[in-house]
């Protein structure tokens, strides 16, 4: 009886601690925890994207006088030659026709046929469309111009413990971080939801922002709630996943490893006790 009590006093607390340690490594995977049901959440005011050096645009100029309007369109194979099939009013890659993109240079400018250099950095695409339309009208180049400006390859980047990595296209100007994660195929089970980093490049500097996806306040109040073009989302691994970089770390973090170790210790203890009892009986 004394031996049994000694056994439970020695090994039972050890077993409880090891099991608790193994269970504590299970990640918290629920998004927006403690978000009250049926209670509206105030969203941030939508922020229109503004152009910056390196962005690429498609610019469509239309008029009833198609021959004149074609001089302002940079179609594949040279100026002019547009038809209704070249323009669909969408920004999808498959419907761009043959219109080449304009790249915003380091000075924040693009150069259009006939119109020349235009400062676009810091403006939204709608503001750029209005500026081009104004120059066409004020210069009496077209009497009834219609101008459409679209991002050519609006996208963000995803790295780390997330379903899809690499460059991912954004279907519209305003996409939230939750929508972006959905586009990227969601976080893996091994990704930390409480410390997602968004790297944003502004004015030649890259700034990291951290978002706790399990905390509604952290998500809805974040400066990166609405993504901008070329933002980079990085999802770091959970401690368990990080420790899998070595085989030994992986084993010591695995509850099955500890259960096996405890079983071996118990078996060894029982073997010693049996041997001692037999020696006592022989005496």
Query: pLDDT tens for residues 36-69?
Result: 888 888 888 888 899 999 999 999 999 998 888 8
Q: Is the pLDDT of residue 86 over 80?
A: no
Q: Structure tokens of 241?
A: 């996943």
Give the pTM.
0.68
Host H or E run for residue 219: helix 216-220
What's the confidence (pLDDT) of residue 173?
86
What band does 123 get if pLDDT is binned at 50, 70 and 90?
A: very high
What's the confidence (pLDDT) of residue 19?
54
Host H or E run for residue 207: strand 205-211
Q: What does the DSSP 8-state code read for residue 46?
A: P
Q: Is the pLDDT of residue 5 over 60?
A: no
What's the confidence (pLDDT) of residue 85?
42
Query: pLDDT tens for residues 220-273?
Result: 999 999 999 999 999 999 887 766 655 555 555 566 666 777 777 777 667 667
For residues 268 and 261, give the distance between their C-alpha atoms in angstroms, rounded to a whole number: 11
What's the confidence (pLDDT) of residue 30?
82
For residues 116 and 20, give the distance between their C-alpha atoms in angstroms, rounded to a whole number: 69
What's the confidence (pLDDT) of residue 268?
67
Pick the more confident residue, 93 or 108: 108
Q: Which residues contact 24 (CB under 8 A, 6 or more apart)?
A: none
**Number of alpha carbons in the 13 Å side-chain half-sphere of residue 280:** 6
Helix%, strand%, coil% for the chain, nearest 5: 35, 20, 40
Q: What is the dihedral of CA 148, 149, 152, 155, to 10 degrees?
A: -120
Q: Structure tokens of 233?
A: 């989302």
Q: Is the pLDDT of residue 82 over 90?
A: no
**What single string gives the DSSP state of each residue in 71-114?**
GG-EETTEE----GGG--S---GGG-TTBPPEE--TTSEEEETT
Query: pLDDT tens for residues 8-39?
Result: 555 555 555 555 555 444 456 788 888 888 88
What band does 100 get if pLDDT is binned at 50, 70 and 90?
A: confident
Q: What is the dihedral of CA 246, 185, 232, 45, to 10 degrees?
A: -140
Q: Is the pLDDT of residue 127 over 90?
A: yes
Pick the more confident residue, 176 or 98: 176
What's the confidence (pLDDT) of residue 252?
55
What band does 204 get if pLDDT is binned at 50, 70 and 90?
A: confident
Pick the more confident residue, 267 or 79: 267
147 DSSP β-pair partners: 61
Query: pLDDT tens for residues 143-196?
Result: 999 999 999 989 999 999 999 999 999 988 889 999 999 999 999 999 999 999
Quick check: 233 and 184 in contact, CB under 8 A? yes
What's the confidence (pLDDT) of residue 163?
94
What's the confidence (pLDDT) of residue 31?
86
What's the confidence (pLDDT) of residue 35?
82
**What single string gives the DSSP state of each residue in 50-68?**
---TT-EEEEEEE-SSHHH
């Amino acid at each position: 009886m004394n031996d049994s009590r000694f056994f439970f006093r020695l090994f039972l607390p050890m077993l409880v601690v090891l099991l608790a340690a193994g269970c504590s490594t299970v990640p918290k995977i629920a998004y927006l925890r403690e978000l009250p049901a049926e209670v509206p959440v105030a969203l941030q005011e939508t922020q229109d994207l503004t152009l910056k050096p390196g962005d690429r645009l498609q610019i469509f100029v239309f008029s009833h006088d198609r021959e004149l309007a074609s001089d302002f369109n940079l179609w594949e194979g040279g100026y002019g030659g547009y038809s209704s099939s070249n323009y669909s009013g969408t920004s999808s890659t498959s419907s761009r026709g043959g219109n080449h993109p304009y790249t915003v240079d380091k000075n924040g400018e693009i150069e259009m046929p006939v119109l020349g250099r235009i400062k676009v950095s810091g403006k939204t695409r709608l503001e750029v469309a209005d500026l081009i339309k104004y120059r066409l009208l004020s210069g009496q180049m077209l009497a009834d111009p219609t101008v459409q400006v679209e991002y050519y390859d609006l996208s963000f980047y995803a790295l780390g413990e997330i379903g899809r990595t690499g460059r991912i296209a954004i279907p519209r100007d305003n996409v939230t971080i939750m929508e972006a994660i959905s586009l990227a195929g969601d976080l893996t089970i091994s990704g930390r939801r409480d410390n997602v980093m968004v790297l944003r490049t502004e004015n030649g500097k890259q700034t990291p922002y951290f978002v706790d996806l399990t905390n509604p306040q952290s998500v809805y109040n974040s400066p990166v709630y609405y993504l901008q073009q070329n933002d980079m989302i990085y999802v770091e691994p959970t401690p368990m996943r990080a420790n899998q970089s070595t085989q030994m770390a992986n084993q010591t973090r695995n509850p099955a490893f500890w259960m096996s170790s405890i079983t071996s210790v118990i078996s060894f203890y029982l073997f010693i006790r049996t041997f001692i009892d037999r020696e006592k009986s022989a005496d």
